[in-house]
Amino acid sequence: MSDNLHQKIDELTMFQQIDKELGATLNFDRVLVLTIDWALRRTGAVAGMYLTLTPDSANLMPQVALGFPRGSVKYATENPMSFNTGISGRAARTRHIQVVEDVKSDPDYIEIIPDVCAEIAVPLEIRGALLGVLMIQSLATDSLNQNNIEFIKRLAARASIALDHARLYQEAESRADETASLYAASRLISSSLDREMALANATQSITTVLRVSSAIIADLRAHVQQAVVTATYRLPTARNAPDNLPPVGMIIESDVIPEFQAAVNNQRPVSIALSDKRISRGLYDFMTTCNYQSVMIAPLVVMGSAQNIIGEVLGIFIAGEGRFERTFNYDEVQLAEALSSLIASSLRQVRLYADVRELEAIKTEMIKMASHDLRNPLSNVVGYFHLLTMSLETLLTEEHRSYIEYVNRSLTTMKSLLEDLLTLERIESERGASWTQVDMTHLVEDVVTGQFGSAELKKQTLTFANPAVSLRVLGSATQLRQAVTNLVGNAIKYTPDGGKIEVRLYPQDKRLIFEVEDNGYGISKERQARLFQSFYRAHEPGTENISGTGLGLSLVKTVVERHGGAVGVESEPGKGSVFGLWLPLATALRHLLTR
C-alpha cells in the first residue's frame, strides 16, 4: 500500500509538471514535442510521432516526430497516410486506442525502425472531434504495461486540451493577420483613382494576401464570351516560380473555360489544381501555358442593392501558384471573396471618377462656348440696342420707354449671368499652387471703401469694424476679393433705403471671421438651407423687383471652401441677416505644417 501510495504521489507530481509545461505554451509544435517527450521518458520507448489530419480530414500526415532516423518517415503532406493504412490509421478510423505488443503479427503494421516490438496509437479528440493520433514505438514489449497505457491515455487527454488552446490561439492570430493584410490591401487598392495604378495595386494585393506566386486581372466581354487581360503581377520574392504571365491586352476565349463561367454565374470563387481530374481542357491549356500548378478564379463583384441582390460582375481575377500544387482552404476562399469585393468597389469608383471628369470636361467646354459664342454677340446686342434707343429718344412714348427698360434689365441680367458663370468656372479650375499670403484687413477695407458709393445712393449707413491688425490667410487675392464683394454688395442690394450695414473682421481660435450684418428684408428658415445653391434665389416680400442671377452666394461658398473654410447665415424675416465666413489664418497653417 505504501509503494502504491508513493507511486500515485509521483504520478500526480509528474502530471502537475506536465500540466505546467503544456499550459506554459500556445505554440502548437511545442505542445506536441513536450507530449511525445513525456511519453518516451515514462515508457522508455525509442520513438514517437504525432499525425495530424489533412485539410480535407480524410487522411493523416506527420507533424512532429522524435527518435526516427532522418528520411525514414515516408509519409508527408504530398503523400498522406490513409485511415486504412497502419496502426495509427486504424486508431483514427475506429477512434479507439490501439495497443499492439507484437507488431510483427499485426497486418496493419508499417515498419519504420527495425527491431520495434510494440506500438501504441492513441486518437486525440476534443469535444468529439478528432485532432490527430499520438503514436509511440518501443523495442521492448513490457514498456506497454497497464500503468504506462493509463499514463499515455491521461497524457493524451491533457495534450488534446493544450492542443485545442494552441489551435484557438493560432486561429485568432491567423484572423488578426488576415484582418491586417486585408486592411493594408484595402488602403493600397483604394489609394488611387487612376485605373492603371488601381489595377497594379489590386494584383499586388492578391499575391500578398493569398500568398500566391502571381495574379492576373481580366475584364469580361460577356456579349462575345471573352476575357481581356488588363493587369498582371508576379511576386518578386517567388524567384523559383516558373510563372509565364500573359501580356496585357491578351484575349482569353472564356467560353472554352467552364470554370470562368461558373465563377461568374455563381459569383463565387473557383479553385482547382492542374492534376484535378475535373479540370476542363480549356483551363488545363491556360494553366499549362502560364506554368500554373493551382489557380483560384474569383469574380470581381460589386454587390447589388437591397432590391437587387445580384451583384454586377466587372471582371475576374486569377490567383496563380506555379511553385507547387496547393489546395485553397475555406479561409482562403473567404479572403478571395473579400478581395474581390474590395477590388470591384475600387474599380467602380475609378469608373465613376472617370465619368465625373468627363462631365466636368463637357461642362468646361460648354462654359467656354458660352464665353466665346454668347458673350460677344450679347455685347453687340447691348451696344446696338443703346444706339437705337438714343436715336429714337424723341419719338418714344412712356409705354415705349417701359418696354425699353424691361429689355435693358433682361440684357443686364444675361450679361451678369454670363460673367458669374465664367467667374465660377475660373475659380473652380484654379489650383492652389500659386496662392500667396493675403492681407484680409487691407482687402476688406478696400472693398468696403469701394462700396460706399452704392450705399450712399440708397442713403444707407455702411461701417467697417477694422481690427487694426493685419490678418492674413493663404489663398488667391482675386477670389477672396470676389467673395467679400459679393457679400457686401448683397447686403446693400437686399437692405431698403436708409438701412444699416456693418462689416466685421476679427480673429478667433486661429481662424479669421468675416461677417456682414444688415437690417434688411431677412430670409425665412425654410429658404436658408438652399441659399448657397447655384441659381437659387430666396424671394421674400419686398425683393420681387431686385435683379440677380442666383450665382453670387454659390460663388462665395466655392471660394471659401477652396480656401479651407466655411460659410453660414443667420436671418429672420423683417429683421435682417448676418452672412459670415471663416478661413484658417496663415499663422495657424504654418503652425500645422511645422508640427
Q: What is the CATH number of the domain that holds 122?
A: 3.30.450.40
Q: List own/partner pairs for 18-27 with CB under 8 A and 24 or more apart.
A: 18/155, 18/158, 19/158, 22/158, 22/159, 22/162, 23/162, 25/166, 26/165, 26/166, 26/169, 26/170, 27/166
Query: Which of 301, 329, 351 is a domain's end point?
Result: 351
- Secondary structure of residue 514 in the 3-state scheme: strand
pLDDT score of 241? 82
- Secondary structure of residue 139 in the 3-state scheme: coil
Global pTM? Answer: 0.52
Q: Which residues contact 8 (CB under 8 A, 6 or more apart)?
A: none
Average pLDDT rounded to a whole number, residues 270-283:
92
CB 447 within 8 A of CB 454: no
Same domain flag for 367 and 317: no
Q: Which of 304, 324, 305, 323 is nearest to 314 (CA)?
A: 304
Q: What is the DSSP letter of 268?
A: S
**Residue 510 to residue 518: CA distance in whole angstroms:** 26
Asked if residue 192 has pLDDT above 90, the reply is: no
Same domain flag for 396 and 434: no
Name which of 86-95, 173-182, 313-322 the model is least confident about: 173-182
Tell me if 180 is assigned to some domain.
Answer: no
Tell me if 186 is assigned to some domain.
Answer: no
Q: How far is CA 45 from CA 41, 92, 135, in A?
A: 7, 21, 11
CA angle 475, 511, 525 (to 5 degrees): 100
Same domain flag for 439 and 549: yes
Query: Which of 301, 322, 351 is a domain's end point?
Result: 351
Question: Which helix H or strand E contains 388, and what residues bound it?
Answer: helix 376-391
Question: Per-residue confidence at 236, pLDDT binned at 50, 70, 90?
Answer: confident
Helix then strand then coil, % of the chain, to nearest 5: 50, 20, 30
Query: Which of 342, 377, 409 is a domain's end point?
Result: 409
Same domain flag for 252 and 166: no
CB 325 within 8 A of CB 274: yes
Q: Which residues contact 332 (CB under 8 A, 6 or more apart)?
A: 210, 271, 296
Question: Per-residue confidence at 306, pLDDT binned at 50, 70, 90?
Answer: very low
Structure-model confidence comparison of residues 416 and 460, the more confident one: 460
Number of domains making up the chain: 4
Tell me if 415 is assigned to some domain.
Answer: no
Same domain flag for 583 and 491: yes
Q: Per DSSP, what are the bridge partners of residue 316?
A: 218, 299
Average pLDDT rounded to a whole number, residues 502-518:
92
- Secondary structure of residue 389 in the 3-state scheme: helix
Question: Per-residue confidence at 593, pLDDT binned at 50, 70, 90?
Answer: very low
φ, ψ for residue 183 (rounded to 5)? -65, -45
**Residue 591 to residue 595: CA distance in whole angstroms:** 6
Same domain flag for 337 and 363: no
Tell me the pLDDT of the chain averaged across its residues: 83
pLDDT score of 589? 45
Same domain flag for 375 and 344: no
Is beta strand 500-508 parallel, antiparallel or unpaired with respect to 461-465?
A: parallel
Tell me if 582 is assigned to some domain.
Answer: yes
Q: Which domain holds residue 368?
A: 355-409
Tell me if 320 is assigned to some domain.
Answer: yes
Matching residue, cell 487612376: 194
Name which of 106-110, 427-431, 468-472, 485-489 the model is least confident about: 427-431
Same domain flag for 57 and 163: yes
Structure-model confidence comparison of residues 199 and 190, the more confident one: 199
Burial class (CB within 10 angstroms; exposed 0-12, middle 13-18, buried 19+) of 492: buried
Tell me if 422 is assigned to some domain.
Answer: no
Cα–chain-centroid distance for residue 33?
42
Structure-model confidence comparison of residues 262 and 532, the more confident one: 262
- CATH number at 543 reads 3.30.565.10
CB 88 within 8 A of CB 103: no
Same domain flag for 476 and 534: yes
CB 517 within 8 A of CB 576: yes
pLDDT score of 594? 39
Same domain flag for 493 and 475: yes
Name which of 202-216, 313-327, 385-399 the model is least confident about: 385-399
Tell me if 457 is assigned to some domain.
Answer: yes
Q: Which of 191, 208, 209, 189 is nearest to 199 (CA)?
A: 189
- Secondary structure of residue 279 in the 3-state scheme: coil
Tell me if 203 is assigned to some domain.
Answer: yes
Same domain flag for 76 and 100: yes
Same domain flag for 277 and 399: no
CB 573 within 8 A of CB 591: no
Q: For every residue of 12-54, which 3-state class applies, written as one string?
A: HHHHHHHHHHHHCCCCHHHHHHHHHHHHHHHHCCCEEEEEEEC
User: How much of the chain, in percent, has pLDDT values that exceed 90?
Assistant: 31
